[in-house]
Amino acid sequence: MSENKLANKKVVIIGGTAGIGLAAAVAASEAGAIVWAAGRTEANLEKARSVANGRFQVVQADTHDAAALEAVFREAGPIDHLVSAAIGGERTLKPFLEQTEEQFKAAYDKLWGYAKVVRTAAPFLAEQASITLVSGSPARKIKPSQSALSCVGASVENLARCLAVEMAPIRVNIVSPGTISTSMFDWMGEEKAEKLKAMTAGHLIKRPGTSEEVAEGILFVMQNGFVTGTTVDVDGGRILS
Ligand SMILES: NC(=O)c1ccc[n+]([C@@H]2O[C@H](COP(=O)([O-])OP(=O)(O)OC[C@H]3O[C@@H](n4cnc5c(N)ncnc54)[C@H](OP(=O)(O)O)[C@@H]3O)[C@@H](O)[C@H]2O)c1
């Protein structure tokens, strides 16, 4: 039987109260880790508490609020595995020239949030810790109307590579989801399933992915002690489609 590398490891997931982050919290806790899952809104915190059902802690923290982040990290530290899966910024889907400067800048709130998460967590990380940042396939798959997502995604990926070099032996990796059926698309209402099906019809795997599939990628980079500075695409082949 293979060694359970997550048993009793301390895992903190910022953006862990819905979608991909919540699925990673569930998977890590099922693998024996001691997990803290954080998010902002009471609605998601409540849903996450009901999913956790006492198996892991659900706490309030915003990627832009250093004091709230520090309180979580101080309680959890020394942290073995830190994940940021928060959305954290605006997702404006418009051609670049049709976006206001403010809309374009607001996409970068995701990067500033992730930077704050890493900076604030640093004193509370274990010596052999891992950090996993979630980007997204637009970072390397260029499509019209996605410049805001593409630019911030690419910045998140480059930040992770810079951190991998500067923070070694702490490992820093990226997991890049394709089109995943999560609450990020709830604004589509009743048409969500149909629209996601249409959006993925041209991908190599012709369906949206699940949060659990992306969580598997997150757990892979957490657990493999020889993986750092890399990007794991969990995207059904979207960047090749
Ligand atoms: N789903 C996709 O197709 C897809 C594709 C590419 C990339 N991604 C990326 O994957 C990551 C996870 O997205 P998801 O699809 O799982 O979205 P989701 O289902 O909406 O979950 C996002 C989580 O992040 C939390 N969050 C958002 N802003 C936050 C902030 N400022 N501080 C702390 N927590 C925050 C949310 O809770 P609160 O809102 O309550 O804070 C929630 O727990 C994001 O980085 C997203 O950009 C997703």
Side-chain half-sphere exposure of 144, counting CA atoms within 13 A: 3
Which class is domain 10-235?
alpha beta
Number of the ligand 1 atom closest to the C-alpha atom of 84:
45
Q: Pocket of ligand 1, candidates 184, 188, 195: which has the most ligand atoms within 8 Å of its Cβ, to mutate?
A: 184
pLDDT recorded at residue 2: 66
pLDDT-flagged residues of the chain (< 50): none
Q: What is the pLDDT of residue 11?
A: 99
Helix then strand then coil, in percent of the chain rounded to 5, is 50, 20, 35
In this predicted model, what pLDDT tens digit does every residue of 79-107 receive, in sequence order?
A: 999 999 999 999 999 999 999 999 999 99
Q: pLDDT value at position 212?
A: 98
Give the position, in ligand 1's atom list, of the atom nearest the Cα of 183: 19
- Quick one: tokens of 58? 């659900």
Burial code (b: 16+ CB inside 10 Å, e: under 16) for 118-157 equals bebbbebbeeebbbbbbbbbbbbbeeeebbbbbbbbbbbb
pLDDT for the residue numbered 1: 52
Question: What is the pLDDT at residue 3?
Answer: 79
Q: What is the three-class DSSP state of 65?
A: coil
* Protein residues with CB under 6 Å of any ligand 1 atom: 14-21, 39-41, 44, 62-64, 85-88, 113, 134, 136, 177, 179-180, 182-184
Cα(112) to centroid of ligand 1, in Å?
15
- Ranges of each domain in the chain: 10-235
